């Protein structure tokens, strides 16, 4: 964790790749309180590693902060860096969750990747760091399974 966030209050460009993206973490303002933070990215995009065509997903990231929280602008830039990244749905979804968990060290984290159909089959990918802490309110992610136009 840097002493001063790299992106907050600064002009920042979209990183060229997820590996080049720098996530900023700031001190948790309520370190002694168990609570849940949710980020939703309903227009997430990455590229199919086979065809190079865009893939679209609705991502929902829930976490219970430990000592730090992720700064939202840096998270937005990190997620945007996937626009030119080729990866299977499973790798992209789990990779985002594992990177956040590894760097931020939350008490608990889960990610739901609700991907729109590829080849006629929607793919939903879920990962979590373990069981949620006792007493943590964990609401449903609120994203319905893909139904098409029916």
- Which CATH number does the domain housing residue 70 bear? 3.30.1130.10
Please indicate, yes or no, if residue 8 is contained in any of the structural domains. Answer: no
Give residue 119's pLDDT. Answer: 81
* Distances 128 to 13, 60, 69, 72, 121 between C-alpha atoms, Å: 30, 12, 17, 20, 23
Q: How far apart are CA 48 and CA 89, in angstroms?
A: 8
Q: Which of 24, 55, 62, 101 is catalytic?
A: 55
Among 28, 40, 7, which Cα is nearest to 139's?
40
In a domain, 135, yes or no: no
Asked if 31 and 67 count as a contact pair (C-beta separation under 8 A), the reply is: yes
Any domain includes 54: yes
The yes-or-no answer on residue 55 being catalytic is yes
Which residues span the domain enclosing 78? 26-128
Query: Is 143 a member of any domain?
Result: no
pLDDT of residue 150: 60
Strand-by-strand arrangement of the 124-128 sheet: 37-47, 54-64, 108-115, 124-128
Question: The pTM is what?
Answer: 0.92
Per the structure, how many domains does the chain have?
Answer: 1
Q: Is 147 domain-assigned?
A: no
Answer yes or no: is 97 within a domain.
yes
Q: What is the pLDDT of residue 90?
A: 97
Q: Is residue 67 part of a domain?
A: yes
Asked whether residue 10 is assigned to any structural domain, the reply reads: no
Mean pLDDT by 10 residues, the chain (150 residues): 62 91 96 98 97 96 98 97 96 98 98 92 96 98 81
Measured CA to CA, the distance from residue 64 to residue 131 in angstroms comes to: 11
Which one is catalytic: 3, 24, 32, 48?
48
């Amino acid at each position: 964790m840097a002493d001063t966030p790299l992106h907050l209050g600064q002009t920042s460009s979209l990183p060229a790749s997820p590996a080049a993206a720098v996530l900023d973490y700031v001190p948790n303002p309520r370190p002694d309180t168990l609570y849940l933070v949710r980020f939703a990215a309903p227009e997430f995009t990455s590229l199919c590693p086979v065809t190079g065509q865009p893939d679209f997903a609705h991502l929902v990231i829930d976490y219970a902060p430990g000592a730090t929280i992720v700064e939202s602008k840096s998270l937005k830039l990190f997620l945007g860096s996937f626009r030119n990244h080729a990866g299977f749905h499973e790798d992209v979804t789990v990779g985002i969750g594992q990177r956040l968990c590894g760097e931020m060290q939350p008490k608990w984290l889960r990610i739901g990747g609700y991907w729109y159909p590829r080849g006629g089959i929607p793919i939903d990918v879920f990962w979590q760091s373990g069981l949620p802490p006792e007493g943590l309110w964990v609401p449903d992610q609120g994203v319905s399974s893909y139904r098409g136009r029916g």
